[in-house]
A and B are shown apart, each in its own frame.
Chain A
Amino acid sequence: MQKIKEFIIEKFIFICGIASIFFVVLIFLFLLKEGLAVFKFVKPLEFLLGKNWYPISEPAQLGILPLVLGSLLVTLGAAVISIPIGVGCAIYIAEIAPLKIKETLKAGIELLAAIPSVVLGFIGMVTLVPLVKNIFHLPTGLTALSGSIMLAFMAMPTIVSIAEDALYSVPKNYKEGAFALGATHWQTIWRVMLPAASSGILAAVMLGIGRVIGETMAVMMITGNAAIMPNSILSPVRTLTATIAAEMGEAVVGSEHYFALFAIGIVLFVISFIINVTADLFLHKDQK
């Protein structure tokens, strides 16, 4: 009797164990189911490289290139800001900060990670956007740059915590060896610790960027939402994620527009899949 009970429990545990696979597949299948239909209306290449996104004009023009470029621009900007600051902060926390400050800093970083993106978006709107407008004398502060700055803050907790882990897991004797040879602490960090932790740091950067690409609310609130080809970091842009969030509410289920938004979902899913798998490979390279 007990044996049967345990057998059932164990089977049930196994089913839950593979639930993650099931859900990932399910997500992908439903994106495909709704998204692939768009290619009845537009060729895949036109979809990816078309310069015009006018989903509700007659006939609809469904080129996502401006959105892709918008995402790229914002992401690039966020990466430029967040990578040096994030990695620098990780080094500071892992290597330099005294123990007490270290715990406080880590709590602060966790705090940042916990702030909902809609709150950051709101704060960006009321503080950063006017600032950008005034500094660059723009008609509007809702620009790719504002988005980049705000998104950099969302990428930083990811970058800091994973990079700090990577630095922390460098074997102690590497460091001691370098010290024993008379290297300064900074030389040890630069020549020994960073190279040894490089694949972990790379993974940290990738996952941070992954978070930026997928970020929706803040970016929708502060980048201006203009689905046009961006010409500078100071122009309003619209990202892939913001397009879905902003337009799905109006799209009629089963319409071209609806399918197109799901097709954008496929693009996002594939990008995040590639980033996560690669980052995972880097993360586990060290452990072997």
Chain B
Amino acid sequence: MRNPYRSQKIAFFFLFLATLLIVVPVGLIVIVIIQKGLPAISWQFLSDIPRQGMRSGGIFPAIIGTLYLVSGAIIFALPIGLLAAIYLSEYSKDNLLTRIIKLAIVNLAGVPSVVYGLFGLALFVVFLKFGVSILSGSLTLGIMILPVIITTSREALESVPQSFREVSLSLGASKWQTIRHIVLPNAIPGILTGTILGLGRAAGETAPILFTVAAFYLPQLPKSIFDQAMALPYHLYVISTQVPNVDEKIRYGTALVLLTLVLFMNLVAIVIRYKFRKKKKW
């Protein structure tokens, strides 16, 4: 005779174990990177150009390059993504076109990042002749984060109660006025969350920028959007695999800076979402 309570105990133990198997390594990864990376961090490391074939010096151009890329991506993706979200949440009807749009978004989110790299190379670098440049890289990253922005913004817009829209319309406001003055202001925290998550994603991606923007070693700052640039994730890849005899400290230091940047953005997004939920008035 099997005792159901004993099998429950066993099952729950394994489920707990599974959870530990995910959470503990995550914790370890973060701790190891902080522990080994922190000694490398200094003002000089953050503000100097790489020297001696990236074996010493700092990572300043890579940080700046990543900031350029991320800003470019968001400038491109936020307006399109937000308007697309407005379309889906406020205008679209339950029809075939909407189903296709939703499917396209799901697919856009699922396309492997390296395929985005190929696409960016073919369209922006070669076909539109932007060359290997910040512009090409930003646009590629921008399209890649579009689904994140659309999905989160749409959720934010749809969480604004329908009754607010009805009130606004019943007062004779037009549909766009309603969206502009009632729906959007109340969805801003959610939209912000999505935008920041998109930023974090763009900052951490390597494959899409491999052939569209990334410079192996470029110890100077880009001067225009048609220049190549270094970028943090690619720099980490390069010093981990392509350059022999790099001090481990520098590798961990670079990983720490990248991780901090990305996790910081995620943290900000989580805090905004949390505060917003608490403050929600309806």
Contacts and interface: CB of A to CB of B under 8 A. Distances in A.
Q: Do chains A and B touch in the complex (CB under 8 A)?
A: yes
Given A13-B86, A31-B122, A184-B4, A122 B236 contact: yes
Nearest to A107: B270
Interface string A8-38: 0110111011111101101100110110000
Contacts of B227: none
Contact of A17 (B5, B23, B88, B110): B88
A265 B115 contact: yes
A112 interface: yes
B123 interface: yes
Contacts of B105: 20
Interface string A66-90: 0000000000000000001111110
Size category of the B interface is: 35 or more
Interface string B47-91: 000000000000000000000000000000001110110111001
A200 interface: no
B255 A122 contact: yes
A153 B28 CA distance: 13
Nearest to A159: B22
Contacts of A16: 79-81, 83-84, 86-87
Contacts of A249: 210-211
A268 interface: yes
Contacts of B266: 110-111, 114
B206 A117 contact: yes
Interface stretch (A53-61, A173-181, A228-236, A272-280): A272-280
Nearest to B248: A126
Interface string B20-45: 01110111011011000000000000
B240 A268 contact: no
Interface stretch (B160-168, B217-225, B256-264): B256-264
A262 B112 contact: no
Interface string B109-144: 111111111110111001100000000000000010
A210 to B, nearest CB: 5
Given A20-B101, A118-B206, A119-B255, A245 B7 contact: no
Contacts of A112: 22, 26
A268 B112 contact: yes
A218 to B, nearest CB: 10
Interface of A: 2, 6, 9-10, 12-14, 16-21, 23-24, 26-27, 30-31, 33-34, 84-89, 91-93, 96-97, 105, 107-112, 114-123, 125-127, 153, 156, 160, 183-187, 189-190, 207, 210, 213-217, 220-221, 241, 244-245, 248-249, 253, 261-262, 265, 268-269, 272-273, 275-277, 279-280
Interface of B: 4-5, 7-8, 11-12, 14-19, 21-23, 25-27, 29-30, 32-33, 79-81, 83-84, 86-88, 91-92, 97, 100-119, 121-123, 126-127, 143, 146-147, 150, 174-176, 200, 203-207, 210-211, 233-234, 236-237, 240-241, 248, 251, 255, 258-259, 262-263, 266, 270
